[in-house]
Structures are given as C-alpha cells and as structure tokens.
C-alpha cells in the first residue's frame, strides 16, 4: 500500500508520530508534504489565546524545548547550524521524498497523488480538503482526531474534553470528507483520564496510542473492512478557544460561553 503523509511541522508531538509511522510502514510511505504556514496577520486576542494554549498543551519542559528548537531553526537559516527535528530532517534521514505545499487542494499536488498511484493520504493539518484531493488517492484520505467522534469535532478537542470534565479521552481515525471531522469512522478508542492528569500529559499518551491505532486503521482500509457511521445524538463541534476560555481553565474556573458551535 502506498501511503502519503501531509502534515504541519510540529516537533514535540506530531513529527515524532510521523517518524514512527514511516518506520512502521517501511517502504510503503512514498512521500511527505509539509503544509507551510499561511502568512496572515493574527489579531491580538487570537495571539493571546494561542500563547495560553501553548502553556496548557506543552509541559514546561517541552515548551522550553520547543522554543529552543524554533530558535535553532532560525539560526540554521543564516548559519551552518544542523537540525534534526523538522519534517525535512526526518525525511532526509529516512530517505523519504519530501516537499512543501501551500495547500493540499492545489491542482499540482492533486496531480502528484494521482501520478504516484497513492492509495491513502494521511492528512495531519487543519486545512479543509476539497473534492479533487479527496478523490485523488485510490482508496481514501484519513485523519487522526483526538476525540471520540462524533463528539468534539473541530479545534483543540483535548482541551475541550478537559474543560467539560470528561473522564475518558477519545482518539479516532476516520475517513475525510469536505466537512469538519464528519467522515466515516475506521477505528476509535478511549483512554482513562488520570486523577492528576494535565492536558500536556494526555497529549503525550494519546500520541503514543496514535501510532498503533493508525497502523491498525490503515490495515483495515487495505482489507476494505467496514467503517462506522460518524453521527449520533452526542455529535458536537468546537471552535478554537478564546483567551478567556483558556485563562478560566488554567485558574480552575468554569465560565461561559464555551466555544461549542454545533
């Protein structure tokens, strides 16, 4: 089976996940594409929200490591400073073709997937995919979502599960359609939230489980095994939290409005 991975470049959690998938599917990963960040002016409230989310999603140690890695990337742009943590570094080490794209919906990228005869595209970006790229692989496009779908569709699902006091945290591999996290479910599982759990610790455990669950899901796709419907009375969708939402959570307070959008 030919697998192509599209991802953002995030070195603490996501890049390690991509590396382990490439190692598990030795010879089957035919390419990796990095989705480049769009150059857009972010508002001050949005910047504040993302800064606070970083304090929640990363442990203090990982946050310091992330800052150090980003500074190293900047230095590597002007000095002969080697890096080993980026998607490009990982692909170079493991001898996987690597490219950067502005959007997976671009006709040129769609043509690449079709020309290479890719069976499955694993999309690990927040981009909404359109029909052309969804039809390009021989089998499907899949996504890893950190919630028990159809609950907690949308942005920052682990954060929202903590906000709402969920005692079990979900993980789903599903086929992608043109809407937000609504495609048929291939596999899903839940892990217990520990008494002293943090969002950062939960992220780490969920990413550890993600590798095995993704591998199992891909084998199910390869065998044309049936999927599960991604619908039900517990369906919900959440937007990116505002700075106030994150601040209330960090202070241990409940507040409203929560950013549930469906």
pLDDT exceeds cutoff 60 at 255: no
What top-level class would CATH report for the domain 3-38+48-250?
alpha beta
Boundaries of every domain in the chain: 3-38+48-250
pTM: 0.94
Write out pLDDT tens, residues 61-105.
Answer: 999 999 999 999 999 888 888 999 999 999 999 999 999 999 999
153/146 Cα distance (integer angstroms)? 9
Give the pLDDT confidence score for residue 30 in this predicted structure.
Answer: 98
Higher pLDDT, 77 or 28: 28
Give the pLDDT confidence score for residue 257 in this predicted structure.
Answer: 46
Give the pLDDT confidence score for residue 259 in this predicted structure.
Answer: 61
Write out pLDDT tens, residues 156-187.
Answer: 999 999 999 999 999 999 999 999 999 999 99
Three-class SS of the chain: CCEEEEECCCCCCHHHHHHHHHHHCCCCEEEEEEECCCCCCCCHHHHHHHHHHHHHHCCHHHHHHHHHHHHHHHHHCCCCCCCCCCHHHHHHHHCCCEEEECCCCCHHHHHHHHHCCCCEEEEECCCCCCHHHHHCCCCEEEEEECCCCCCCEECCHHHHHHHCCCCEEEEEEEECCCCCCCCCEEEEEEEECCCCCCHHHHHHHHHHHHHHHHHHHHHHHHCCCCCECCCCCCCCEECCCCHHHHHHHHCCCCCCCCCECC
Give the pLDDT confidence score for residue 258 in this predicted structure.
Answer: 54
């Amino acid at each position: 089976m030919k697998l192509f991975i599209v991802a953002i470049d995030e070195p603490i959690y996501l890049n390690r996940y991509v590396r382990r998938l490439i190692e598990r599917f030795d010879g089957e990963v035919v390419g990796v594409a990095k989705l480049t960040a769009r150059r857009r002016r972010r508002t001050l409230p949005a910047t504040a929200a993302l800064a606070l989310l970083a304090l929640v999603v990363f442990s203090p140690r990982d946050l310091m490591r992330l800052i150090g890695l980003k500074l190293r990337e900047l230095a590597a742009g002007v000095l002969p400073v080697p890096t080993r943590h980026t998607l490009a570094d990982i692909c170079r080490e493991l001898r996987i073709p690597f490219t950067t794209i502005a959007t997976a919906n671009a006709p040129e990228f769609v043509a690449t997937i079709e020309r290479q005869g890719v069976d499955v595209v694993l999309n690990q970006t927040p981009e909404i995919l359109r029909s052309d790229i969804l039809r390009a692989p021989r089998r499907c496009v899949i996504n890893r979502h950190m919630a028990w779908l159809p609950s907690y569709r949308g942005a920052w699902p682990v954060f929202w599960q903590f906000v709402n006091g969920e005692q079990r945290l979900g993980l789903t591999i599903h086929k992608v359609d043109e809407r937000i996290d609504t495609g048929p479910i291939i596999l899903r599982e839940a892990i217990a939230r520990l008494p002293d759990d943090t969002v950062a610790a939960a992220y780490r455990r969920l990413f550890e489980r993600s590798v095995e669950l993704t591998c199992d899901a891909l084998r199910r796709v390869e065998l044309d095994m049936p999927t599960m419907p991604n619908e039900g009375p517990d369906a919900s969708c959440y937007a990116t939290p505002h700075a106030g939402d994150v601040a209330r959570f960090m202070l241990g307070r409940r507040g409203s409005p929560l950013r549930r959008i469906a």
